[in-house]
Structure 1
């Protein structure tokens, strides 16, 4: 008897995709329409954390921000192509952890594409800062992508060490 779909790597990956995409879009909706952050600009939550409204017309860390209106289409097309490749990877991997991480990355990428197509820019609002240091403003999708990539990197390093030991 085969495992239920949700317990297979692809099932877990798709679940991660939907969870990240949902959390991202719900958080952005609340930021825009519940908290009304665009009119408030910034709201202090903790001494080191604010919600600060930023419309990101560029990509990671503000790169390629000078593309104007074409950036919206170019960045969306690239992100959707990457999401397609990630879905193929997710479908082919036998690893539940890999599929879950790839699913989280896919959900984050799709969430940011939805923003670009709907608003013309990505909604960023999480702003960490302390002792005069300030990190880039980001969102739930960005967090999921970064965390999942870090887990994949650690997984890869640990797998490499196991292969070297044998």
Structure 2
């Protein structure tokens, strides 16, 4: 994979890295499968000829999916934040990615592979960084009560409504 990106995140899957990469690429513009590498020989995770590595671009960023077997699972210690432009995009991505509704909190969702995502409206980030600490606090407190971020409700809280 020819790239100028110096660091590429590798996501570990149990044989379904291609399925995951295709799904992720279907959600965001500037996304595609760049290369599929098949195992040249049998190894502990895949037989010869099976998909071993999938190089893909997700929203302009390079990633690799490694079919490394069931040895390691995703944890909340690593997540992907997707900055959304409006409530419709926020809701679409939350609906598509959230496979564990009970794990939803403050815009965080967990997909069917166990990878955590932060679906975050750009406006939410702006409100959290508001130079007025009272407004920022109201935005934060409103967000903390939500599973999925409702930007109109956050705006109302910031306005003191």
Same fold, judged at TM 0.5 (above): no
Judging by fraction of residues, say which structure has more strand.
2
State TM-score, norm by structure 1. Answer: 0.28
State TM-score, norm by structure 2. Answer: 0.28
